[in-house]
Amino acid sequence: MLPCPIHKLTGFDCPGCGMQRAAMELLNGNICKSILYYPALLPLILMFVFLSIYLIFKIKNGAKILKYLFIFNAIIIFVNYIIKFIKI
Amino acid sequence: MTDDLNQNPNKNQEIPPVPDITNIPDIPELNDDLTLTSNENINIEDPNSIEPDKTVISDIKAENQQHTSYQSKGFGPEHHEFNRQKEIEEEKLYAKNTNNSYSSNKSQTPPNIPPQNNNYLYQQNLPNSSAILTFGILSILTICCCGSFVPTIFAVIALAMAGKPLQLYKQNPGQYTYSSYNNIKTGKICAIIGLILSILVLIIFILNMIFNGEFQYQFNEIINETWDQSGY
């Protein structure tokens, strides 16, 4: 596992901490555990896949869908970070 | 006939006279077989080159027989004329309604329809339209590495690139495609959101640095270690 440089430097988590653990759990097949570790991983993957599809095949209203997906992801990441921060 | 009306209602003001159905072997309403129509088209284009098949001729004969039978049963020219008059009345009503609706809707402002200028045959994509979108979205995807420093870089690049093409589009919107403009708009919005998020995360970091006593301790230790290792 790659160590987080910010966690090493400062001692507290960054907004992306837990993503690697979640990815490992997802590769093993435990979707529930991966969501518990980092809930924004699956929507992020979905967004990236949709972006690549949209750039190759021109989908109607694809830009709008991408925008709403982006806002959804941003909200999830920020809320998750604040909750993690309060817990510690 | 109704389909033609929908496309251009003004053409049907002068209605052609009702043709003599008795002379014409095929009435369009009675044509159920697709084979007949297709063969007709070929014969009109090159009447001498292609010889008609015997089966087709037999089909036509059968149809003609059917037509005569319809005439005897009351589906003949009289019935057809009655239907034709009804159709004409409906067409007139439809034309009136469409004209009225068009005049009433003229005063209202149209909804958000993409601008369509026919002066340009080939509309170009705006420069760097897909790159701005990808950079705007990468501003949140790269939050997993190095916290809020990489996302800020991507967001700033996307915002800097989005300025010029938007101005180009505003100068002459007909020359460029609407989808690329939409891409740049969404990329810009994504970059702004990413920048705001990264700034918020940075503020949280700074607040944590100030109010957390352990951080200062750890930071001093790390700096001292690095100084010792470097040997100055």
Domain carrying residue B193: 129-230
Q: Please check whether residue B114 lies inside any domain of the structure.
A: no
Same domain assignment for residues B176 and B90: no
Kindly identify which residue of chain B lies nearest to residue A75, measuring between CA atoms. Answer: B197
The tens digit of pLDDT for each residue in B152-186 reads 888 999 999 888 888 888 888 788 888 888 889 99
Q: Which of A9, A10, A26, A69 to mutate to test the interface with B (most CBs of B within 10 A)?
A: A10
Angle at A76 between CA B134 and CA B143, to 5 degrees: 45
| Residue after which a domain boundary falls, among B106, B121, B143 | B106
Q: Please check whether residue B121 lies inside any domain of the structure.
A: no
pLDDT at B175 (0 to 100): 83
Q: Where are the domains of chain A?
A: 5-87
Check if the beta carbon of residue B27 is closer than 8 Å to that of residue B77: no
Same domain assignment for residues B100 and B144: no
Same domain assignment for residues B92 and B141: no
Same domain assignment for residues B223 and B135: yes
Query: Chain B within 8 Å of A23 (Cβ-Cβ)?
Result: no
Instruction: Mark yes or no for CB contact B141/A44 under 8 Å.
Output: yes
For residue B177, the SS3 value is coil
ipTM: 0.86
Same domain assignment for residues B219 and B133: yes
Same domain assignment for residues B181 and B142: yes
| Residue after which a domain boundary falls, among B106, B121, B154 | B106
Q: Tokens for B108?
A: 């209202």
Same domain assignment for residues B7 and B100: yes
Query: Chain B within 8 Å of A65 (Cβ-Cβ)?
Result: no
CA distance, residue A81 to nearest chain B CA (Å): 9
The tens digit of pLDDT for each residue in A8-50 reads 777 777 788 888 889 899 999 999 999 988 898 999 999 999 9
Helices then strands (H, E): number in chain A?
5, 0
Number of domain units in chain B: 2
Instruction: Mark yes or no for CB contact A48/B143 under 8 Å.
Output: no
What gap in Å lies between CA B95 and CA B138, rounded to an integer?
A: 54
CA distance, residue A49 to nearest chain B CA (Å): 12
Q: Please check whether residue B19 lies inside any domain of the structure.
A: yes
What's the burial of A11, exposed, middle or buried (CB within 10 Å: 0-12/13-18/19+)?
Answer: middle
What gap in Å lies between CA B204 and CA B198, rounded to an integer?
A: 10
pTM above 0.90, yes or no: no
Q: Please check whether residue B74 lies inside any domain of the structure.
A: yes
What gap in Å lies between CA A78 and CA A69, rounded to an integer?
A: 14
